[in-house]
Amino acid sequence: MRGPHDLDERGTRRYPNADMMRSRGQSDDTPADRNERLVLASASPRRREILKRAGVEFEVRTPEIAEEMRPGERPEQLTQRLAREKALAVVSQLGAAPRRWVLGADTVVVLGESVLGKPRDAEHAVRLLSSLVGQRHRVITGIALADSASRTVRSQAVESWVSMGMASENEIRAYVASGEPLDKAGAYALQGEGGRQFVDRVEGSRSNVIGLPLEETLALLADARLSEAEGEVASRPKGEPPS
């Protein structure tokens, strides 16, 4: 019932890449197409891998923020707020010039009304995963793109649904003993053995479940860079050619 998923192909083939960005009105030599100006505000190797496979060039800076849920805060609000805070924390490290785009992200697993974070230890991982098997849960990632020059931030939350099959305690403990789920929200990795062993179905973005909704992230980048290019054209003195 729980067969392997073709994660690599399904995680990348359906999403836009740099060619899609150029098709939205950007030429190869416009300032808006300089991918090296992107900074990823995350230490997550999974987010780095998703961007690399999409052909996006970037550097990594690690933000330091308190990742705590506020009273009455919904998961969608939580993930967007933390993504914005991560992006702005790195903007503060970089300064206003040269202008950079900084991408922050935060992912949570939601079962009913409960937000499940990363496990504290192996026993906690067993409890988290035991609560998810045989159930359908949400994975929500907030993404935020900050402009280091203006400190303005664009953000959104992306939701996917994950259905898991049943599993025995021995199967769960054996998986936790592998070490794979110990740094993952909800205590499983869709792209690894956790996905192959426990996940029956994903509705929505698969890369979102892994930690970064690629389609929405690239659209956010494309929109921001297109707005930047249009702003540069509008501010250029009449008759002055592009530099």
- How many Å apart are CA 193 and CA 199, to the nearest integer? 10
Give the active site residues. Answer: 106
- How many Å apart are CA 224 and CA 35, to the nearest integer? 12
- How many Å apart are CA 243 and CA 241, to the nearest integer? 6
Query: DSSP per residue over 80-132, as a string?
Result: HHHHHHHHHHHHHHH-SSS--EEEEEEEEEEETTEEE---SSHHHHHHHHHHH
Which SS3 state, helix, strand or coil, does residue 11 take?
Answer: helix
Length of the chain: 243
- How many Å apart are CA 228 and CA 34, to the nearest integer? 11
The answer to whether 134 and 168 have CB atoms below 8 angstroms apart is: no
